[in-house]
Amino acid sequence: MAYIQVESVSKKYVKGNVETRVLKDVSFQVGKGEFWIVAGPSGSGKSTLLSILGSLNEPDSGRVLVDELDLFSLSHDERALFRLNYLGFIFQNFHLLPYLTALENILLPTLAYPHKISKEKEARELLKMLGLEGKEGKYPKELSGGEQERVAIARALIMEPEILLADEPTGNLDSKTGEEVMKIFAELNRRGKTIIMVTHNLDHLQYATHALFLKDGEVLEIKTLKEAN
């Protein structure tokens, strides 16, 4: 059985008497260790799909199974625990808290954990791995866009999730910095992380194992680009 199984997922938004069908019968299967890029025009449903994979948004119909867990049959609390245990989220706008330092931002997810845990050693290792040594005491506004993105990546990694979900992580970066960030994702994938990334940038396909093209909420095409390690 696939690691992530998306079965006939549909979603619509209703505003007044206008109904927008954002996802129509979307199905695909992601194996452990694969790196999927979700591409498609603006408004094609990419962010909505990612938020459903992250169990932050519920489909109207269909199922999502991760490691055989049926996400939308879990209770609210079980789903929160699922997110903590399995997922790291990375957003286009980084979503760093401005009044916390880089190190404190990276440690933020540990505060959401039911038990008290210390991850400072791991956070410092991540800072080193991501080339952020010496930046631990800096506030987000003192960091460049690429550095902020790397802090956001470290924060997503601190609980050692199996799966990384990234929504346009290079969207606000210049192309050189974006390329460096993509190399980090490629390295994380090489080390075994399963990655699903939304992007407009088709140059990024060179790093992925699979591509899913969405159009008007429908799967236009699924491509295998290379084998996962």
The site for ligand ADP (CB under 6 A) is made up of 13, 20, 22, 40, 42-48, 92
Is 120 in contact with 139 (CB distance < 8 Å)? no
- Of the pair 43, 62, the CB lying nearest ligand ADP is at 43
What's the closest the beta carbon of residue 21 comes to ligand ADP, in angstroms?
A: 9
- Of the pair 158, 212, the CB lying nearest ligand ADP is at 212
Cα–Cα distances in Å, from 172 out to 70, 108, 218?
34, 23, 26
CA distance linking residue 45 with residue 77, whole number of Å: 26
Q: What are the residues whose beta carbons fall under 8 Å from the beta carbon of 162, sequence distance 6 or more? A: 32, 67, 86, 193, 194
CA distance linking residue 72 with residue 172, whole number of Å: 32
- Of the pair 11, 135, the CB lying nearest ligand ADP is at 11
H helix or E strand, kind and range, residue 47:
helix 46-53
Is 36 in contact with 50 (CB distance < 8 Å)? no
- Of the pair 44, 170, the CB lying nearest ligand ADP is at 44
- Of the pair 50, 66, the CB lying nearest ligand ADP is at 50
What's the closest the beta carbon of residue 178 comes to ligand ADP, in angstroms?
A: 15
What's the closest the beta carbon of residue 41 comes to ligand ADP, in angstroms?
A: 7
- Of the pair 31, 43, the CB lying nearest ligand ADP is at 43
What's the closest the beta carbon of residue 214 comes to ligand ADP, in angstroms?
A: 7
Beta strand 4-15 pairing with 194-198: unpaired
Beta bridge partners of 210: 36, 224
What's the closest the beta carbon of residue 201 comes to ligand ADP, in angstroms?
A: 13
- Of the pair 188, 212, the CB lying nearest ligand ADP is at 212
CA distance linking residue 24 with residue 12, whole number of Å: 9
Expressed in angstroms, the distance from the first to the final Cα of the chain is: 18
How many of the other CB atoms lie within 10 Å of CB of 15?
7
What's the closest the beta carbon of residue 92 comes to ligand ADP, in angstroms?
A: 6
What's the closest the beta carbon of residue 20 comes to ligand ADP, in angstroms?
A: 5
